Amino acid sequence: MRLEAFEAQGRARWTRIAQLLAAFERGESANAAELPALYRQLCHDLALARDRQLSGALVAELNELALAGHRLLYQARTGEIRGLGAFLTRDFPRAVRSELPLVAGLHALFYGLALALALLAWLHPDLIYSFIPQEQVSEIEQMYVASDAPVHEPRDASADATMFGYYIWNNVSIAFRTFASGLAFGVGTLVSVVLNALQLGLISSHLAREGAAEPFFSFVIGHGSFELTAILLAGVAGMRLGLALLAPGPRSRVAALRAAALSSLPIIAGAGLMLVIAAGIEAFWSPRLVPAQWKYAVGAALWLLVALWLGLAGRARAD
């Protein structure tokens, strides 16, 4: 193969790799999914150029690109840790803010519906039994109303660790269903959000009528900031899938769905990390025997922290 033909075939790829690497240097990772395939092709081009001795200058150029790509794709563990820090303090909050209309809409739907149902349940105490089986309501009352409720009993470290694992499994399963059900043109995600709002509103109102407002709210306020926000963010990602199927634009539905899934990955990954944090708080802090005022103070601080994190982090250079 002649040098001119070889360079004509590969120049567009090499230019794109250089652009992506430069973008990563600036902290931009929106098109990260393109790089692995381009890097593999680059390595093939480099090997071919060396084997056929096409041009020393071209080999040097491709080798430099390959080294830069290798450093990025196969960075040392310390680099991975720095990458995680950059993701949490920059990429994830930016991804959340890029979906601000969906984020605001799902939060308004969830909390607005939960509050409306709580008011209805307060006025009509039997309303809860129309949606939640009486056996389940009795179990909830035993947790928060009875004087010997488990939430009031101290637990040992092994029990805390067991509950930590359970909370991760439970929270992640809820978030995954909320996300994956977006494939039903977004309807499944909306149904999941509505059902979770229904449970929160009815249960909180019922326990308040039963005189258990303090044990319930002091228990959930700490981990609720991370858990509820993460589940709603999973709903945002699910709605993005549904909207891609409903309005794919000039692309096919498969291509639009693939693009939506890739753009939602930072939100899903960040929501997963938030659920792990929520599980840790719920297992190791929420059941602690400390004054309710302390739990309310810590809970308020955590809600403020989540709001400031997702609202302000990473704004210095991009927002």
Tens-digit pLDDT profile for residues 62-106: 888 888 877 766 653 444 555 678 888 888 999 999 999 999 999
SS3 assignment for the chain: CCHHHHHHHHHHHHHHHHHHHHHHHCCCCCCHHHHHHHHHHHHHHHHHHHHHCCCHHHHHHHHHHHHHHHHHHCCCHHHHHHHHHHHHHHHHHHHHHHCHHHHHHHHHHHHHHHHHHHHHHHHCHHHHHHCCCHHHHHHHHHHHCCCCCHHHCCCCHHHHHHHHHHHHHHHHHHHHHHHHHHHCCCHHHHHHHHHHHHHHHHHHHHHHHCCCHHHHHHHHHHHHHHHHHHHHHHHHHHHHHHHHHHCCCCCCHHHHHHHHHHHHHHHHHHHHHHHHHHHHHHHHCCCCCCCHHHHHHHHHHHHHHHHHHHHHCCHHHHC
Averaged pLDDT, 242-266 = 90
- Check pLDDT > 80 for residue 224: yes
Token output for 26: 């600036």
pLDDT of 158-187, one tens digit each? 677 888 888 999 999 999 999 999 999 999
- Give CB contacts under 8 A, 24+ apart, made by 153-159: 154/289, 155/287
From the number of C-beta atoms within 10 Å of its C-beta (0-12, 13-18, 19+), residue 184 rates as middle
CA 276 to chain centre: 11
From the number of C-beta atoms within 10 Å of its C-beta (0-12, 13-18, 19+), residue 25 rates as exposed
Structural contact between residues 213 and 207, judged by C-beta atoms closer than 8 angstroms: yes
Rounded Cα gap, residues 17 and 37, in angstroms = 10
Domain boundaries, the chain: 3-74, 93-318
**27 compared with 81, residue with greater pLDDT:** 27
Q: How far is CA 252 from CA 187, 246, 247, 256, in A?
A: 20, 11, 10, 6
- Check pLDDT > 80 for residue 210: yes
CA atoms in the 13 A half-sphere facing the CB of 25: 9
> 149 pLDDT band (50/70/90 cuts)?
very low
> 56 pLDDT band (50/70/90 cuts)?
confident
Token output for 165: 């694992």
Structural contact between residues 254 and 197, judged by C-beta atoms closer than 8 angstroms: no
Averaged pLDDT, 233-244 = 95
- Lowest-confidence region among 3-17, 188-202, 271-285, 292-306: 3-17
Query: Positive or negative, the Cα torsion across 46, 52, 55, 57?
Result: positive
Express as a percent the part of the chain with pLDDT over 90: 53
